[in-house]
Amino acid sequence: MYVVYQLINAKGEIEYVGHTKNPNTKLLNHVDKNGKFAGRTDLSLEIIKSGFRKKNRAFQYECKIQKELGFETDKQKFSRNMKEVQKKTTEQKSIKVAAYKITGEFLGIFPSIMETARYFDLHRNLVWLVVNTKQKSTKGYIFKKV
């Protein structure tokens, strides 16, 4: 069963609302060195509602509470992040790419990473890695931003 919980600071202010299947370890995860509230010792976890059989229902209730408290909901955060990812993907596609053989022979200029990948029968991520200088070459080709 899933629960919806809130994290409350020593002043009694709600700082976070979330859902989990395991509330006993959730607070520890939040204050762990890699957690959202790393190193904090003033937080306590309070269960708002329990008994959700499906994660989806707990998530919907979590978002409802977040909205009532004036927080950005996780649904809104997800939507915003997806828009940013789509924007970055669109920007990647619009990068003009110059292609060379590993020997230095110029092969041409392509309108996008995707078109370059199609022409050379490569996965777009391989072209992206070279264009963004994460690796020097791939499959005998060098690609550079124009």
Nearest-Å Rg of the Cα atoms of the chain is 24
Inside any domain, residue 36: yes
Whether residue 104 lies inside any domain: the answer is yes
- Joined tokens for residue 126: 């391989």
Average pLDDT for the chain: 91
Domain containing residue 48: CATH number: 3.40.1440
Number of compact structural domains in the chain? 2
d(CA 141, CA 39): 47
Percent of the chain with pLDDT over 70: 97
What are the tokens at 67? 């909205």
For residue 88, being part of any structural domain is answered with no
Strand pairing partners for 100? 106, 142
Q: Who has greater pLDDT, 20 or 92?
A: 20
The average pLDDT across 3-8 equals 96
Cα–Cα separations (whole angstroms), residue 91 to 80, 126, 127: 17, 17, 14
Query: What is the pTM for the complete model shown?
Result: 0.58
Q: Does residue 84 fall inside a structural domain?
A: no
Question: Hunting for tokens 């590993």 — which residue is that?
Answer: 102
